Amino acid sequence: MVGTKGTPDKSFTCGIGLGYIAEEGEDVDFAEHPVLLLGGNIRLSKSMALVLENWLITGGDFKLDQQPLGLALRFLSSKIAVDVGAIIVGEVIKEGFPIPWLSFVYNFGD
Protein backbone atom coordinates (compact mmCIF):
# COMPACT_ATOMS: atom_id res chain seq x y z
CA MET A 1 0.00 0.00 0.00
CA VAL A 2 1.48 3.34 -1.08
CA GLY A 3 0.27 6.93 -0.75
CA THR A 4 1.60 10.22 -2.08
CA LYS A 5 0.95 13.76 -0.81
CA GLY A 6 2.00 16.92 -2.58
CA THR A 7 1.93 18.71 -5.89
CA PRO A 8 3.49 17.99 -9.30
CA ASP A 9 6.38 20.24 -8.19
CA LYS A 10 7.16 18.43 -4.93
CA SER A 11 5.71 15.42 -3.19
CA PHE A 12 6.30 12.87 -0.45
CA THR A 13 5.50 9.17 -0.79
CA CYS A 14 5.29 6.52 1.90
CA GLY A 15 4.25 2.90 1.74
CA ILE A 16 4.37 -0.51 3.34
CA GLY A 17 4.42 -3.98 1.83
CA LEU A 18 5.61 -7.55 2.17
CA GLY A 19 8.31 -9.08 0.07
CA TYR A 20 7.81 -12.58 -1.28
CA ILE A 21 9.43 -15.43 -3.16
CA ALA A 22 7.47 -17.49 -5.70
CA GLU A 23 9.49 -20.39 -7.06
CA GLU A 24 8.12 -22.64 -9.78
CA GLY A 25 5.99 -25.44 -8.37
CA GLU A 26 6.01 -24.03 -4.81
CA ASP A 27 3.62 -21.88 -2.81
CA VAL A 28 4.29 -18.15 -2.45
CA ASP A 29 6.47 -17.49 0.60
CA PHE A 30 5.84 -14.03 2.12
CA ALA A 31 8.38 -12.24 4.32
CA GLU A 32 7.65 -12.12 8.06
CA HIS A 33 8.46 -8.40 8.34
CA PRO A 34 7.30 -5.47 6.18
CA VAL A 35 9.32 -3.28 3.86
CA LEU A 36 8.75 0.47 4.31
CA LEU A 37 9.04 2.96 1.46
CA LEU A 38 9.90 6.62 2.07
CA GLY A 39 10.47 8.83 -0.93
CA GLY A 40 9.67 11.97 -2.79
CA ASN A 41 10.49 14.18 -5.70
CA ILE A 42 11.28 17.82 -6.34
CA ARG A 43 10.84 19.39 -9.77
CA LEU A 44 14.04 21.14 -10.84
CA SER A 45 12.66 22.46 -14.14
CA LYS A 46 9.70 21.91 -16.48
CA SER A 47 11.33 18.74 -17.83
CA MET A 48 13.43 17.42 -14.91
CA ALA A 49 12.92 16.31 -11.31
CA LEU A 50 15.06 14.85 -8.53
CA VAL A 51 13.67 11.54 -7.22
CA LEU A 52 14.55 9.91 -3.89
CA GLU A 53 13.34 6.48 -2.76
CA ASN A 54 14.38 4.71 0.42
CA TRP A 55 13.40 1.13 1.21
CA LEU A 56 13.70 0.07 4.84
CA ILE A 57 13.77 -3.70 5.22
CA THR A 58 12.55 -4.31 8.76
CA GLY A 59 12.95 -7.27 11.08
CA GLY A 60 15.87 -9.49 11.86
CA ASP A 61 19.22 -7.79 12.34
CA PHE A 62 18.33 -4.29 11.01
CA LYS A 63 21.46 -2.48 9.83
CA LEU A 64 21.30 0.95 8.22
CA ASP A 65 24.23 0.22 5.87
CA GLN A 66 22.21 -2.66 4.35
CA GLN A 67 19.19 -0.50 3.46
CA PRO A 68 18.80 0.56 -0.21
CA LEU A 69 18.59 4.27 -1.06
CA GLY A 70 17.61 5.30 -4.58
CA LEU A 71 18.55 8.65 -6.09
CA ALA A 72 17.70 9.57 -9.69
CA LEU A 73 17.02 12.35 -12.14
CA ARG A 74 13.62 12.09 -13.84
CA PHE A 75 13.38 13.47 -17.36
CA LEU A 76 9.77 14.41 -18.21
CA SER A 77 7.70 15.07 -21.31
CA SER A 78 3.95 15.02 -21.85
CA LYS A 79 3.91 11.26 -22.60
CA ILE A 80 7.09 9.74 -21.16
CA ALA A 81 9.24 9.88 -18.03
CA VAL A 82 12.71 8.37 -17.77
CA ASP A 83 14.57 7.88 -14.47
CA VAL A 84 18.37 7.62 -14.52
CA GLY A 85 20.17 7.15 -11.25
CA ALA A 86 21.62 4.71 -8.76
CA ILE A 87 20.53 2.54 -5.87
CA ILE A 88 23.04 2.91 -3.09
CA VAL A 89 23.58 0.26 -0.41
CA GLY A 90 26.32 1.00 2.13
CA GLU A 91 27.69 -2.55 2.06
CA VAL A 92 27.83 -2.54 -1.77
CA ILE A 93 29.54 0.88 -1.90
CA LYS A 94 32.35 -0.62 0.18
CA GLU A 95 32.93 -2.92 -2.81
CA GLY A 96 33.18 0.12 -5.08
CA PHE A 97 29.97 0.89 -7.01
CA PRO A 98 26.23 1.63 -6.73
CA ILE A 99 23.53 -0.38 -8.53
CA PRO A 100 22.35 1.39 -11.75
CA TRP A 101 18.70 2.55 -11.88
CA LEU A 102 16.98 3.06 -15.22
CA SER A 103 13.20 3.14 -15.66
CA PHE A 104 10.71 4.28 -18.28
CA VAL A 105 7.05 5.27 -17.90
CA TYR A 106 4.71 5.90 -20.83
CA ASN A 107 1.41 7.76 -20.26
CA PHE A 108 -1.34 6.21 -22.41
CA GLY A 109 -3.98 8.70 -21.18
CA ASP A 110 -4.76 12.24 -22.31
List, for residues 15-61, the tens digit of each pLDDT value: 999 988 788 888 888 888 899 999 999 999 999 999 999 999 888 78
* Chain centroid to CA 53: 4
Q: Could you give the CA distance from residue 77 to residue 42 in angstroms, rounded to a whole number?
A: 16
| CA neighbor of 37 nearest in space, from 49, 50, 24, 51 | 51
Q: How many domains does the chain have?
A: 1
Range of the domain at 24: 2-106
Question: pTM for the complete prediction?
Answer: 0.79
